[in-house]
Structure 1
């Protein structure tokens, strides 16, 4: 019947591509989304869509219960939900720092912790945290976002050491400039500046990130844990 897969923030961009990749592989896929309606192609692919804000512990608990009732305890977790609130550090309100950390880092901690109960019982599990090249080399105007994404590495590596003996792996994917709605909203000048830092001179397709996520959850990656895999066209080379 396939594994029970949960992708947070799976309604658009990278999360949507990841969910579709797992669904096409025959897995039982659930996504969380915070607002709006889930995309029709995900529904048509058989994905279970659950409304959930990862900053709310009660909503996280209800989302996992819905997935467990419809599918089974989560075998594969992809923590992808995230937000940005960019500004220069001297102009950044503390509320914007707190909001980004609460969603991107604490939200990931929350869903990883909740998924662990079922994985411990099964003595197996695959967790992938979606970080960013920004978390590796920083970015002016994104101190809050960079800090949250860098924190995912510490979370993943500490968790990998704790849970490795139980057959659970935890890895990080660090995308670079990806062709999504968020990056399409940039001005042409901003896009050119970003792509000028990419040796491959093009953005990634969301499906290219999804392929790496799928690999890290496959049997072929059973001996990989605590790793940070850049999928950035060389943008963060050396970090």
Structure 2
């Protein structure tokens, strides 16, 4: 038994590294990542109001420490991965498994938010549309507050490119009409009206300055609020190629 335990013991990391140096591509990845970070930090994102990266950089600067940052799948999590840079501010980051698709994403975020004073959710329009009725929890949380339960602040940042912009990045991207109908699937939903039906205050912004003003105004406000950022549906790959 002792021999078996010894054979199964995890070796000391430093000793292991002496025998198994990191592959060269790990070093190369590190150089690429540092170069990407330098490009991001040197960019004046406030000047580009047509790029989701501009709004995510502003959000990451303003979000309070110890907040929950909940990201939807598809382009939302990829955008955060692309434009988040290491910082001293501590955040809890959660997401649903990608395999689960986009159903129930909003309700997951609202449930997790009950354990945090401040939550910010980043989502696209199709994900929000799939779980739009979860905004009805605004009334449920208000009822609980009247009964003595705290109501957290939950800001939903909606990156609304009116469809599945992630498919604009695929190799099979096409200018044929079927591609828009079957892959990009624009919905043209009035999210401000939909949110208003559930008593959720909404701000639609068109510049980074407007976003910062709306975001700071909603932070700390109890209940759910929504900031809608209209964005182009096409040209996604070209915009991201500047940083990837």
TM-score (norm 1): 0.40
TM-score (norm 2): 0.39
Structure with greater Cα Rg = 2
